[in-house]
Structure 1
Amino acid sequence: MNFNHLRAPLAVLPLALIAAYSHAQTTPAPSLPVTVVTATRVAQPLTDVVADVTIVDRDTIDRSGATGLADLLGQLPGVSFVRNGGPGATTSVYLRGAETRFTAVFIDGVRIDSQSTGGASWNAIPLSQIDRIEVVRGPAAAVYGSDALGGVIQIFTRKGEAGFSPSIEMGFGSHGTRKLSAALSGQQGAVDYALGVSRETSDGFNAQPDSNPDEDGYRSTAVSGRLGWQLNAAHRLDASLLDSEMDAQYDAFSPGNDDHGQSDLQTLGLNWSAKWSDVYSSKLGVTRGKDRYETSPSSYVTDTSVTSYLWQNNVTLGASQVTVALERREDHLDNASTTPVISERSQNALALGYALRSGVHTLQLNARRDDDSEFGGHSTGSAAYALGFAPNWRAIVSVGTAFRAPTLYQRFSAYGLPSLQPETSRNVEGGVKYEERGNSFSVIAYRNKVSDLITYVSGPGDCANGSGDYAGCYGNTANAQYSGLTVAAARRFGLLALSGSLDVQDPKDLATGNQLARRAKQTAKLAATLPVAGWTVGAETEFVGKRFDDAKNTKELDRYSLVNLSVSTVVAKDWTLLGRIDNLADEDYETAKGYATAGRTFYVGLKWAPN
C-alpha cells in the first residue's frame, strides 16, 4: 500500500491521539457498560466483542447534525459513501472499500435488500427515526448468511422506556431545506411504546450542471413505531414498523425532463423472546422488508420483498455460550421493465455459534450452512480470538469466509446469466483494541479477498434471454482484494471530547491491479466537541484521497478536504437550538464524476424535549 499521498498533518492526527493516551491524567466519569447485539446476534458487553465495532447513539446523531444516514456513517472509521447529487439521490456505502451490496443491513432486526441492484437503498432510510446504529466491519456471513462480505449495519428506531417522553424538532437550511419531526415514547405497566413521524423537503441543487440546468430537490415522509409487551419476567413480545417514502428529482438521459425517483421502504417485525431458565433462552421472529423504486416520466419499477423466519436458541454453560439458529429467507422480485424468468427464491440455513470468555481469553466460533433454492448449498465459517494482555487492552485475530448470492435480476432478467455463482470472500485481520468507560483506541489490519466478483460486461453477450442481442450482461468476471489498516481513537480530556480515524487501504482489481472505482486509498477524519459559555461547539475535518470514477482508472476524481462546524445550546427549559455549517470552505469536489455536491450549507433547528 502506498502511504505517500497522505497529507502529513492529517496522517499524524491518530498518532497525536495515541500520544495523548500516554500522557493524559484525566479520569473519565463512570458510565454503564455498553451492550452490542449485532456482532453475534446475542447481546454482549462491548468489552467482550472481538469484532471491529462502532456504536452510534441518539445523542451522537443529534450532535452530528448530519444531513442523512450516509453522511453520518461517512464520519465513522472504515466507512465512505458516494452519492449522485443531493441527499435524495442514489447512494452507495462502502465498508472497508467493499461494494455497497456487500453490507448486510437490518432495521430493528428486519433485513432490507434489493433483488434488482443489490444492497440497501441508503437514501430512503430516514435518519430522523433512528435511535442507535451498530456497525460491524468484517465478514459476518457465518452469523447472518448471504450479503455480509464487508460487514453488517444494524439500525434501531426508538424504543419506549419508563415515563413519557415527547419531542418535536423543526428546522430550515440551505437550498430551501425544511424539516419537521415529532416523537413520543413511554411505558405503561408491562407495555412500552414509541412512535415517530417526520417530514423533510428541499428544493435541492443542480446535480449535473454540465448536462441539465434544473434543480434536483426531494420530499421525504417517514413514520416508525415499536411496541413491547413484557408478558412476565421470562417472556416478551416486540413489534416494529417503519414506512419511509422518498420522492427525489434526478437528471436522466434526456435534458429538460422533470425526472423523479420514488422510493418506498417498509419494514415489519414481530419477535418473541423467552428465558426458559438460567441456562436456556430462545427467540422466535418473523420479519418482512420491502424496497420499491419507481421512476417517472420514464417507466421503471422494481419491487423487492425479503421475508425472514428466525428461531434462535442460546445455551449458557458457565463462561461459555452455545447458539443454534434455524433461519429461512424468502426473496421476491417484481421488475416491470425486464421481468425475470424466475422472480422468487428461498434460503434455508442452520447456524452454530460458540463463545467463551475466560479470564484474559475470549473466543468466538461460528459456522453456517445456507441452502439456496436456485444455486444450492454454501458453507461459511469464522474464528476470532482476543487476548487481554494488559488492563483494558486486547490483541485480536480473526479469520472468516462469506458469500453473497446473485440477485434475481442478475440471474434471470434480460441482462442476467442463470449460471452466475455466488461471490465469495476470505478475510483475515488482526490488531489491538483499548476500551474503558467510553474511551477507545484500536489498530486493525485486514485483507479481504473476493472471488467471482459480479460485474456488468458491455457488448453482446449470452444473457438469460438467449438471444445475446442486448448491450451486455452480468458475469462472474473479476476478483478483488480489500486490504488496509484502520486506526481509530476517542478520548475525553475534561470537557473536551476528541475522536479521529485514519484509513489506509488498497481496494484493487486483482486481474488488472487497478484501484476499484470511487474508493480512496487514504481517508482521515478528526472530530472535537467542547462546551463554551453555555454552548456545545463541534468541529469535524475530513480528508479523502484521490479516486477514479471508472474501472480502467482513466477518469480521476481529485482529493478533497472538508471542515464542518456545529453548535447547540439550551435557550429555555426543554428547548435546544441547533446550528450547523457543512463544507465551511465551500470546497468544490465530486464523489461521482459529473455529479455536483452541495457546497457550503447551513442548517438551524429548534428542538423541544421535556426531561
Structure 2
Amino acid sequence: MTHSYSKAAAAVAVVLFASHQTQAQQIETISVIGARLPVQQAQLSAALTKIDRAHIEASGAISVTELLRGQAGISLSQSGARGAVTQVRMRGSEANHVLVMVDGVEINDLSDGGVDFAHLHLDNITSIEILRGPQSALWGNGAVGGVISITTLQAQEPLSGQLKLEAGDASSSNLAASISGKQGEFNYALNASDYNSDGQNVSRQGNEKDGYENRQFSTGLGWQITPASKVNLSVRHVSASSDYDETDYAVTGLPQDTDHYTEIEQYQGKLNWLFAPEGTEWQQDLGLELNHNDNQNFANGAYTNANQSEKLRLYWQGSYQYQQNSHLSLLTERVEEDFDQQDPSGFSDQARTNDANSIGIDWLHQLSGQWSVSASMRHDNNNFFENAESYQAGLSFYPGQGHKLYISAGKAIKNPTFIELFGFFPGSFIGNPDLQAEHSVSMEIGGELQLSQQWQLSGALYKARLKDEIASSADFTSSINLKDTSERKGAELEIRGQWHQLKLTGAYSYLDSQQPDFSGELQPELRRANHSGFISADYSFPRLPLELFIRASYQGTQLDTNFLTFSTVKLPAYTLVDLALSYRLDEQWKLRLRAENLFDKEHEDVLGFVGQQRQFWLSARYQF
C-alpha cells in the first residue's frame, strides 16, 4: 500500500510541477470559506473545489450527495436509496470530522457531530465550496477533514423566480419554487420545496419499500440601513420523514424488512450586522447564529426514542485590510450547546450542556505580486472539555498565467459528541464522560496548472496523523480514546475545462487511511475506498435548444463490518452513471428527462443496504 501511494504521489508531482508555459490569463475565483474574509483562490494554501449553479442546473440532480459522490477527497456512504442516512468523510476522516455550513451557519447535529446529507436538496442552492484539510483555526471544533460551505439563492435585481415540477418512478415527485428581488434598500429571497417518494426496498430480502418525504423552506432578507451599515437575516427549515430497515443482529447481521422510520426537524438562523465605514479599511461583523436538530424514531407505529440538540453562537469579527489582498481579522465568540435525550420509559432521559468562549486571529499577507503567506490561530476555552488550540499556516506562489504552488500545515480538533460522552441506551450503549478531544496534525502540498485558457489541472498530496481518535470499545457498548495514532495520506487530481460547446469536469482520489486496532497494529479504515473519482460532460448542441449532461462516478473496493460475526467484509467497486437531457422551449420554459443510475448498477456503500436503483425523472421548469 505504501508503494502504491508513492507511485500516485510521484505521478501527481510530475504532472503538476513540470515546466509548462502558456499564454493563458490567470483565472480569479473568490472563496468564501478559505479565510475569515472572501479571498482570491490563488492566495489559498489549501485545496478548494467549487460547484457552481450552472453545473448544478445542468446536472438536474435533486440531492447534494449526487454531486459530491466521487469529488476529490470525498468518501460517501449511503445506507440505501434517497432519504437513507448518508455520511460524507473527507481525506479519510470520520463523518463527524466534516464541518458543514449553509449560508455561513453550521448545521452539524450536536448529538453525533455529523450531518445527514440525505436531507440536503439542491433546489435553492447556488454554489457548493469544498475546502479540504484542517480548518479548525478558521471555523472551530469539527473541521478536521475539511469544510463544506453551501450558499442558497441570493437576492437578484431585477425580480426573478422559478417554478419546477418533477415526477419520477416509485410515485416520486418534487415541487420547488423560488423568488428573489430588491426594493430600495431591501432585498429578499424565498425558497420552498416538497419531495415525496414511495422509495425502494433497500434490504436484500423481502419487498417492503422505504419511502421518504422532505420539505424545505429558506429565506434571506437584507436591509441596507446606510451605505456603511447592513443587516441580514437568514432562516432555514427542513422537515423530513425517512423509512429505514433495522439490522438483524441475531441471525444474518444484515438489514431486514421492518416498519421503522425517523422524523427529522431542523432549523437554522442567522442575524448579523455588517459595518464598513466609508473611507476606512476597517469593517466589523456582529452576529447571532442558531442551529437546532430534532430526531424522533418510531418502530411499528410506536415512539421509541428521541434527541434534540441546539447550538447558539454569538460572535464578533473585526477586519482590517491594510493593503491590497492583505488583511488581519480578529474573532471572538461565545457558544452555548444543549443536548436532550428521551425515551418512553424514561431510562435514557437526560439533559446536558457545554459552553465555550473562543478567540482567534486570521492573517493573510501578499508579500509581492506572486507570493502570499497566511496564518490562523484559535483558542477554545470549554467549560466541560479541556481547553484547545488549533492553527494553520501556509505559503502560496502564483507566478501568473494561472499557475499556483502552495504548501501548508495545520492542527484541527474535534470534541467528543454528546452521544459519545453521555449516550445511554440500556443493553446496547453507555457513554464515556472521560473522553478527550481528538487532535489532527496535517501537512499538504499542492498546486494548479493552467494548461490553456480553457483547461486547468489541480492536485494535492497530504498526510495527517490523528491522536486520541474516538472509537468503539472492544464490545461495542461504549466509546474510548485509542492509545495509538491513526494515519491518513493521499493524493488528489482535478481537471476542468471547455472545448467548444463541451464542458468537462473530473477528479481522482487515492486514499490510504489506517486506524490502530486494540493491539496497536494499523488496519485499513472502513467505508473508505482507496480509489474513487468521477467525470462529467455537459454538451450544448449548436443551433439546437438541447443540452446533454452525463456523469459517471467510481467508488473502489472498500471494507465494512458484519455485525453478527464482527468480521470485516469487502464491498465491491462500482460505477454509477447519471444522464440528463434538457430541451428549452423558450426563454421561460425548459423540459428535462433524467435517468439516475442509468444502467441500474447494483451497489452497496453499507453492508446489506442496496443503493439507489435506476430511476427516471421528467421535469418542467418555468423561469422569469
Same fold (TM over 0.5): yes
CA change 1:553–1:396 in 2 (3 A) is farther
Q: Measure, in 1, the Cα distance between the counterparts of 2:43 and 2:572.
A: 41
CA change 1:438–1:187 in 2 (3 A) is farther
In the alignment, residue 194 of structure 1 is paired with which amino acid? Answer: A
1:288 corresponds to which of 281, 285, 290: 290
Secondary structure of the residue aligned to 1:398 is: strand
Report what 1:526 is aligned to: 535
**Alpha-carbon contact 1:14-1:501 (below 8 Å) kept:** no
CA change 1:65–1:481 in 2 (3 A) is farther
1:543 aligned onto 2:554 = yes
Report what 1:372 is aligned to: 382
CA change 1:433–1:565 in 2 (3 A) is same
2:432 corresponds to which of 417, 426, 436: 417
**Alpha-carbon contact 1:84-1:90 (below 8 Å) kept:** yes
Q: Measure, in 1, the Cα distance between the counterparts of 2:145 and 2:617.
A: 33
Report what 2:363 is aligned to: 354
1:344 aligned onto 2:346 = no
Task: Measure how far apart 1:477 and its partner are.
Answer: 2.2
2:621 corresponds to which of 603, 607, 610: 607
In the alignment, residue 522 of structure 1 is paired with which amino acid? Answer: H
Report what 1:514 is aligned to: 523
Task: Measure how far apart 1:16 and its partner are.
Answer: 14
In the alignment, residue 314 of structure 2 is paired with which amino acid? Answer: Y
Report what 1:313 is aligned to: 318
2:305 corresponds to which of 300, 306, 317: 300
Secondary structure of the residue aligned to 1:114 is: coil
Report what 1:273 is aligned to: 274
1:168 corresponds to which of 152, 160, 163: 163
In the alignment, residue 262 of structure 2 is paired with which amino acid? Answer: G
Report what 1:503 is aligned to: 509
Task: Measure how far apart 1:584 and its partner are.
Answer: 2.2
Give % identity: 24
CA deviations over 1:277-327 (Å, ceiling 9, x no partner) = 522101011010111111113511011111111100101112431110001
Secondary structure of the residue aligned to 1:47 is: helix
Q: Measure, in 1, the Cα distance between the counterparts of 2:183 and 2:99.
A: 34
Task: Measure how far apart 1:223 and its partner are.
Answer: 0.7
Counterparts of residues 112-261 of structure 1 (less than 5 Å): 112-210=107-205, 212-253=206-247, 257-261=258-262
Q: Measure, in 1, the Cα distance between the counterparts of 2:567 and 2:126.
A: 39
TM-score (norm 1): 0.91
In the alignment, residue 308 of structure 2 is paired with which amino acid? Answer: D
Task: Measure how far apart 1:178 and its partner are.
Answer: 0.6
CA change 1:321–1:23 in 2 (3 A) is closer
Task: Measure how far apart 1:444 and its partner are.
Answer: 0.2
In the alignment, residue 377 of structure 1 is paired with which amino acid? Answer: N
RMSD: 2.9
Structure 2 unpaired stretches of 5+: 249-255, 425-429
Q: Measure, in 2, the Cα distance between the counterparts of 1:102 and 1:115.
A: 12
Report what 1:463 is aligned to: none
Task: Measure how far apart 1:80 and its partner are.
Answer: 2.6
Structure 1 unpaired stretches of 5+: 460-470
Q: Measure, in 1, the Cα distance between the counterparts of 2:70 and 2:12.
A: 15
TM-score (norm 2): 0.89
Task: Measure how far apart 1:262 and its partner are.
Answer: 0.9
Q: Measure, in 1, the Cα distance between the counterparts of 2:307 and 2:267.
A: 14
CA change 1:256–1:322 in 2 (3 A) is closer
Q: Measure, in 1, the Cα distance between the counterparts of 2:392 and 2:578.
A: 39
Report what 1:57 is aligned to: 52
Q: Measure, in 2, the Cα distance between the counterparts of 1:570 and 1:60.
A: 16
Q: Measure, in 1, the Cα distance between the counterparts of 2:261 and 2:3.
A: 42
Task: Measure how far apart 1:65 and its partner are.
Answer: 2.0
Secondary structure of the residue aligned to 1:128 is: coil
1:407 corresponds to which of 417, 441, 455: 417
CA deviations over 1:223-248 (Å, ceiling 9, x no partner) = 11000111121111110011111111
- The count of corresponding residues between Structure 1 and Structure 2 is 593
CA deviations over 1:318-377 (Å, ceiling 9, x no partner) = 243111000111111111146476611011100011111221101110011001110231
Secondary structure of the residue aligned to 2:524 is: coil
Task: Measure how far apart 1:514 and its partner are.
Answer: 1.9
Counterparts of residues 414-563 of structure 1 (less than 5 Å): 414=424, 415-434=430-449, 439-459=455-475, 472-477=477-482, 479-510=485-516, 511-532=520-541, 533-550=544-561, 554-563=568-577
Secondary structure of the residue aligned to 2:65 is: helix
Secondary structure of the residue aligned to 1:63 is: helix
Task: Measure how far apart 1:504 and its partner are.
Answer: 0.9
In the alignment, residue 538 of structure 1 is paired with which amino acid? Answer: F
Q: Measure, in 2, the Cα distance between the counterparts of 1:24 and 1:512.
A: 48
CA deviations over 1:120-174 (Å, ceiling 9, x no partner) = 2322233223222111111100111100000011112111121110200001112
Report what 1:70 is aligned to: 65
Report what 2:253 is aligned to: none
Higher mean displacement: 83-92 or 254-263 = 254-263
Task: Measure how far apart 1:582 and its partner are.
Answer: 2.2
Q: Measure, in 2, the Cα distance between the counterparts of 1:15 and 1:603.
A: 42
Q: Measure, in 1, the Cα distance between the counterparts of 2:257 and 2:116.
A: 26
Secondary structure of the residue aligned to 1:550 is: strand
Higher mean displacement: 183-192 or 105-114 = 105-114
Q: Measure, in 1, the Cα distance between the counterparts of 2:381 and 2:322.
A: 30
Q: Measure, in 1, the Cα distance between the counterparts of 2:15 and 2:504.
A: 8
CA deviations over 1:424-459 (Å, ceiling 9, x no partner) = 100000022246877532110001211111112143
In the alignment, residue 170 of structure 2 is paired with which amino acid? Answer: H
**Alpha-carbon contact 1:340-1:412 (below 8 Å) kept:** no
